[in-house]
Amino acid sequence: MADDVAARLERWTTAGGAWRVDPAPGGRVHVVLLRCDGGEEVDRFVCDADELPS
């Protein structure tokens, strides 16, 4: 599953987007996908913190 998260974030940043991490309960995080032209939130998903790329 960590590979899926890393691949999704790589595709997003390659396309010019940005992302940020917001804390969530239970060792999980909200990954917020942001537009490249102003940082507007486009989507978000929840994953375990250890699934994020280093």
Please give the model's pTM, rounded to 2 decimal places.
0.87
Give the per-residue pLDDT at 1: 63
> What element of type H or E holds 3?
helix 2-14
DSSP result, 7-54: HHHHHHHHTT-EEEEEE-STTEEEEEEE-TTT--EEEEEEEEGGGS--
Q: Which residues of the chain have pLDDT under 70?
A: 1
